[in-house]
């Protein structure tokens, strides 16, 4: 549904987007993750035909953003970080105005405005001036205008920026509810946004894509060794840690928590070693009750920090080679 090939955008000497390629399949929600200034918004603006690329290609619903921009715009709904609202208009007036701009037939206009108002939970403020709305409601109105013409693709740039926790939760639920009907690419620098909302993730740093996969696959691939959480009772923490550390294949044992006579440890194994069964056996041999034994993955935060740190290290190494 979205295809980007070797896309580059330069501003004088600054390279905002550097030879990136990715695809987003139909019905997917993909998180476009990166720190501020990584190139997320520039990529969004190219995909929405707000600006041309310096090099490379991009297409939405099989239409090229350079050669067929009007066809692309008909098939996308765009929510920029600051929604394009007119504060002097009432909500229903604004949505009716936008629906006409987007070519919604007159016969369907009233029904469509009512549907998106209900879906985005703004029907109760339809007669209010946009200037009188809270930040959360304005964000919902912005999302409503993006889906008015029932586009194939939604491009959302920082959709929860500036919202309070309750509003963030409601907005995430709304985005999740749109999955399947629409292909969604969601740009953000907020890690929980991706974990709780997206199927796949693309991580960009310094204008380059450093990883793209599902969150689970990224965390599994990057850890390099298995990590297991083991919760045991019946003995002191030091005694249990010593027993776990003595299991063949275990590289490190770290106490995570001790309370109510139970001790939880993170146990890391050497690459290629599966230590879950030997750990369980060692606990049982000592006569201790085993309360929990499960694999644990890296958090998305750990993945993000490791990937962006690797990117910085690669840049520093490259600079050293040039000197």
C-alpha pair distances (Å), 288 with each of 91, 126, 223, 231, 234: 64, 63, 29, 10, 5
pLDDT of residue 272: 72
Q: Is the pLDDT of residue 320 over 50?
A: no
Domain assignment present for 322: no
- Write the pLDDT tens digit of every residue in 133-183: 988 899 889 999 999 999 999 999 888 877 788 878 888 888 888 887 889
Clarify whether residues 125 and 274 are in a common domain: no
- Write the pLDDT tens digit of every residue in 206-249: 899 988 888 777 765 555 556 889 999 999 999 999 999 999 99
Clarify whether residues 131 and 31 are in a common domain: yes
Judged by DSSP in three states, 208 sits in strand
Clarify whether residues 57 and 121 are in a common domain: yes
pLDDT of residue 246: 95
Q: Which structural domain, as residue segments, surrounds residue 202?
A: 2-214
Clarify whether residues 273 and 254 are in a common domain: yes
| Structure confidence at residue 316 as a pLDDT band (50, 70, 90) | very low
299: number of Cβ within 10 Å: 14
Domain assignment present for 188: yes
Domain assignment present for 290: yes
Task: List the CATH number of the domain containing 256.
Answer: 3.30.70.3190
Clarify whether residues 251 and 140 are in a common domain: no
Last residue of a domain, one of 214, 238, 255: 214
Domain assignment present for 317: no
pLDDT of residue 16: 94
Clarify whether residues 163 and 37 are in a common domain: yes
Domain assignment present for 187: yes
Percent residues over pLDDT 70 in the chain: 89
pLDDT of residue 223: 52
Clarify whether residues 121 and 20 are in a common domain: yes
Tell me how many domains the chain contains: 2
pTM more than 0.95: no
Clarify whether residues 41 and 161 are in a common domain: yes
Task: Report the length, in residues, of the chain.
Answer: 323
Clarify whether residues 189 and 255 are in a common domain: no
Last residue of a domain, one of 214, 236, 252: 214
Mean pLDDT, the chain, as a whole number?
87
Clarify whether residues 8 and 147 are in a common domain: yes
- Write the pLDDT tens digit of every residue in 93-125: 999 999 999 999 999 999 999 999 998 889 999
Q: How far apart are CA 69 and CA 61, in angstroms?
A: 11
Q: Is the pLDDT of residue 310 over 60?
A: no
Q: Is the pLDDT of residue 311 over 60?
A: no
| Structure confidence at residue 205 as a pLDDT band (50, 70, 90) | confident
Query: Where is average pLDDT lowest: 20-29, 243-252, 311-320?
Result: 311-320
Clarify whether residues 51 and 16 are in a common domain: yes
Domain assignment present for 302: no
Query: Do 6 and 168 contact (CB within 8 A), yes or no?
Result: no
β-bridge partners, 262: 233, 259
Domain assignment present for 303: no
Clarify whether residues 183 and 228 are in a common domain: no
Q: Which of 205 and 314 is assigned the larger pLDDT? A: 205
| Structure confidence at residue 21 as a pLDDT band (50, 70, 90) | very high
Task: List the CATH number of the domain containing 135.
Answer: 3.40.50.300
Domain assignment present for 254: yes
């Amino acid at each position: 549904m979205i295809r980007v090939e070797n896309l580059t955008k330069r501003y004088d000497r600054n390279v905002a987007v550097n030879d990136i390629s990715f695809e987003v399949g139909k019905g997917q929600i993909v998180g476009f993750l990166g720190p501020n200034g990584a190139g997320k918004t520039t990529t969004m603006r190219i995909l929405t035909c707000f600006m041309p690329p310096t090099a490379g290609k991009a297409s939405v619903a099989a239409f090229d953003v350079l050669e067929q921009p009007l066809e692309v715009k008909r098939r996308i709904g765009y929510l920029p970080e600051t929604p394009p609202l007119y504060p002097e208009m009432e909500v229903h007036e604004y949505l009716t105005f936008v629906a006409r701009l987007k070519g919604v037939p007159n016969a369907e206009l009233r029904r469509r405005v009512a549907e998106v108002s209900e879906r985005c939970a703004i029907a109760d403020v339809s007669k209010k001036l946009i200037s009188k709305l809270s930040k959360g409601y304005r964000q919902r109105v912005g999302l409503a205008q993006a889906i008015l013409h029932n586009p194939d693709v939604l491009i959302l740039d920082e959709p929860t920026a500036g919202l309070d926790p309750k509003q963030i939760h409601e907005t995430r639920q709304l985005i999740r509810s749109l999955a399947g009907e629409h292909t969604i690419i969601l740009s953000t620098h907020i890690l929980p946004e991706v974990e709780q909302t997206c199927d796949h993730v693309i991580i960009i740093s310094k204008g380059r894509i450093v990883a793209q996969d599902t969150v689970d696959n990224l965390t599994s691939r990057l850890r390099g060794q298995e990590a297991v959480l083991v919760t045991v009772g019946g003995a002191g923490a030091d005694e249990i840690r010593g027993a776990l550390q003595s299991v063949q294949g275990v590289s490190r044992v770290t106490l995570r928590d001790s309370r109510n006579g139970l001790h939880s440890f993170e146990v890391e194994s050497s690459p290629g070693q599966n230590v879950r069964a030997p750990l369980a056996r060692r606990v049982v041999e000592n006569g201790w009750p085993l309360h929990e034994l499960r694999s644990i993955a890296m958090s998305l935060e750990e993945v993000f920090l490791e990937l962006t740190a690797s990117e910085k290290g690669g840049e520093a190494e490259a600079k050293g080679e040039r000197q």
